[in-house]
Amino acid sequence: MIQSFIGALLGGIISGLINWLLYKRKEIAEARKKHFEELKEYCIRPLLNALSDLMRNFNIEESLYFDYYLEAPSRDVKWWENFSFEGGVRNKLLYEDLRNHFKGFYEELKHIEEYVVRELYSKYLILMRELVLKAKSMISNEFPTLPNGVSDRELLTAIMMIVLVRIRDIGLMYMRNLRSITFSIGLILLR
């Protein structure tokens, strides 16, 4: 009788302990899932948008206003000097926590901030400015009077597109890395 009582008591304790451990495990899994969802919503999605916006600054297309390159280096406000991905994220703690979950991604973002944007973008603007000035000089030397219906902007755009198509791959080397990162983030978001 005492043995069956002790057996029942031990069975109840063991059963209760197993039930409690399973509950804790489920609770931890739900907390992790919630944390990952918050990380995706308040950190990774805004970073994906910031990367897409950043890529637009390097895009070269016919609708581009090339005089931007003449004005940008001399502006008082130079966005690239203070650029930070952290500024575009809704939750700063989650951004910092990103390095715990995706250390390589976090380090790549820091590299893009510090090197590609802060250091290379100003050089990119200077090179693009020189190209635009050279193209404008070519236009004024070759076409002192433009044909009817053709604006200097249209001619500048055509010349710039011809020149830039040839050097585009060199200037956009880092954009391939950004696209790779964007693709990786997309895969993370689809999980």
Reported as a single tens digit per residue, the pLDDT across 18-62 is: 888 777 888 888 988 898 888 888 888 898 888 888 888 877 666
Nearest to 102 by CA among 22, 47, 157: 47
Over residues 174-189, the mean pLDDT reads: 52
Amino acid sitting at position 64 = L
Q: How far apart are CA 146 and CA 142, in angstroms?
A: 9
